[in-house]
Amino acid sequence: MKIMQMEKANRKTMDGHNNNLRQMVSFAENVVDCRRHLQLLHLGENFDRNICIRNKGTTCDNCENINRYKEVDVTKEARELGTLVKDLSVRDVTMIQIADTYKGSKAKLIVDRRYDKHKFYGAGSSMDRTDIHRILKDLMIKNIFRDHLTYTGDFPVVYIKPGSKFDALFFPNFKLTLAVSKGRDHCANYKPSPADISYSELDGIEESLPAPLSLDSPGPSRAPVANVAKKGVATKYTKQQIEKLKVQCHEELLEECRRLALERNVTLSSIMNLSAIKTMSDVLPKTQQEMLKIQHVTAANYKKFGDFFLTITKKFRDQVDKLQEKQQSENLANTSLANDDDFWCSSQSSYGGGVKRKSTGCYKRGGKKFKGGGRKKWRTPKKKASPKSGKSKSTKKYSAPKQGGGGGSGLGLMPVLHIK
């Protein structure tokens, strides 16, 4: 912009340069339309997008991600931002300050200028900051907003003001759409994965699984299935929570960097390298030594601003550590419970249901050897045989005949010698 302003050209030529610049920005910001289609359209040629999609080796990035984005109507948000720009541009205001106000930032400059009293302050708190900037840039390309460039020392500062077509923003037929990533809420056939289940829903998993069998029921138990499912879901849920914490940490670090930059009227990169801020949110350093190991973090800029960022990373590091400790303790508890269930299942499978097993003659603790080489099997005490029952359902056993003709199982009746 400064180079174009330095050129001694008439107003018509400058307008042409500005339009070309806006088209370049629009091309870079567009993540939906085919790149080849846009380029050839600029040259007056119509290009079929399907040709780009069919040639997998040379497909452009937008055609590769054709199913990842969806057009969303942001007309309401655009009009709210337009009202913000119109009201706050009474004094110089930047695009970052507009986005921070719409997002609901508590930065010192926002509060000092009483931007937090505006009716649309925090109206876009649920939106991603990047999408807010994209709306502002799109409106600037359409000449609804215009930028005003000034220099503070050697640093350029761009202020935003209503443009020549600002009134068109509030026309009934005006509509603005924005390409955003398809979330799960936009998918008609979305089915929640285990990672999307919260801890409050974990108890419902056990209810939907088969109930464990009792000691009196034949067949193996399925009790460990619920524990394994709950453990797997909880682990994925913990990883998801950690990733969310890192994203929140990155946003707070950027917010702090913006605050420091606004207070000193400098750019963000003058405070801290942006890639270093991203690394901070991933590593979450807790000490000065860990912070200085990050690339682009020098002793000089740490001395100036390091403590501001370290306070944020320590806070999120503590939260991540608590989540990991909780997950480890739950894993140990689930593992112990699963082992107990496995032992219980094997015991029931061997002895449950009154199933007899042929003795192999090997030694078994608790057995009693009888004449003839037979051995009594050990079994779990279940139910005592009824006095009326004349048969034993468990083991082979020698027994004397009862008075009255009762019989026993096993080798049969033994003769009894009566001496008179």
> pLDDT tens for residues 190-245?
333 333 333 333 334 333 344 444 444 444 444 444 454 455 556 666 788 888 88
* 253 inside domain: yes
**Could you tell me if 131 and 103 lie in one domain?**
yes
Site of tokens 């998801």: 240
- Domain-ending residue, one of 308, 323, 350: 350
* 168 inside domain: yes
Burial of 196 (0-12, 13-18, 19+ CB in 10 A): middle
Give exposure, 250-281, as e/b (b: 16+ Cβ within 10 Å): bebbbbbbbbbbbeeeeebeebbbeebbebbb
Counting residues of the chain whose pLDDT is more than 90, the rounded percentage is 16
| Model pLDDT, residue 378 | 53
pLDDT, tens digit (0-9, with 9 covering 90-100), for 73-107: 999 999 999 999 999 988 888 888 899 999 998 88
- Domain-ending residue, one of 292, 326, 350: 350
Residue 166 has pLDDT above 90, yes or no: yes
CA-CA-CA-CA torsion for 251, 256, 259, 260, nearest 10 degrees?
-140
pLDDT, tens digit (0-9, with 9 covering 90-100), for 8-28: 777 767 766 776 776 777 777
Report the CATH number at residue 221.
Answer: 1.10.150.80
pLDDT, the chain, mean: 72
pTM above 0.75, yes or no: no
* 298 inside domain: yes
| Model pLDDT, residue 152 | 64
**Could you tell me if 150 and 226 lie in one domain?**
no
Amino acid at 55: N
**Could you tell me if 200 and 320 lie in one domain?**
yes
**Could you tell me if 204 and 284 lie in one domain?**
yes
Q: How far apart are CA 387 and CA 20, in angstroms?
A: 103
Report the CATH number at residue 136.
Answer: 1.10.10.10
**Could you tell me if 177 and 126 lie in one domain?**
yes
* 378 inside domain: no
* Spatial CA neighbour of 196 closest among 233, 246, 243: 233
**Could you tell me if 205 and 173 lie in one domain?**
no
Between the alpha carbon of residue 365 and those of residues 3, 124, 359, 383, the distances in Å are 95, 74, 13, 22
**Could you tell me if 177 and 211 lie in one domain?**
no
Question: Which contacts of 364-373 are long-range, i.e. CB under 8 A and separated by 24 or more positions?
Answer: 370/398
**Could you tell me if 259 and 139 lie in one domain?**
no
Q: Encoding tokens for residue 356?
A: 């007899």
Is the model more confident about 360 or about 174?
Answer: 174
Question: Phi/psi of residue 413, each to 5°?
Answer: -80, 140
Q: How far apart are CA 226 and CA 207, in angstroms?
A: 9
Q: How far apart are CA 367 and CA 378, in angstroms?
A: 6
Between the alpha carbon of residue 90 and those of residues 86, 94, 221, 265, the distances in Å are 7, 12, 74, 19
**Could you tell me if 199 and 175 lie in one domain?**
no
Longest dimension (CA), the chain: 145
pLDDT, tens digit (0-9, with 9 covering 90-100), for 297-320: 888 888 888 999 999 999 999 998
pLDDT, tens digit (0-9, with 9 covering 90-100), for 378-416: 555 555 554 444 444 444 444 444 444 444 444 555 555
**Could you tell me if 261 and 165 lie in one domain?**
no
Range of the domain at 342: 194-350
* 151 inside domain: yes
| Model pLDDT, residue 390 | 45
**Could you tell me if 245 and 303 lie in one domain?**
yes
Q: How far apart are CA 312 and CA 34, in angstroms?
A: 41
Please state the domain count of the chain.
Answer: 2
**Could you tell me if 257 and 315 lie in one domain?**
yes
* 313 inside domain: yes
* Dihedral sign of CA atoms 278, 282, 286, 291 in order: negative
* Distance linking the first and last C-alpha atoms of the chain: 132
pLDDT, tens digit (0-9, with 9 covering 90-100), for 99-134: 999 999 888 889 999 999 999 999 999 888 878 888
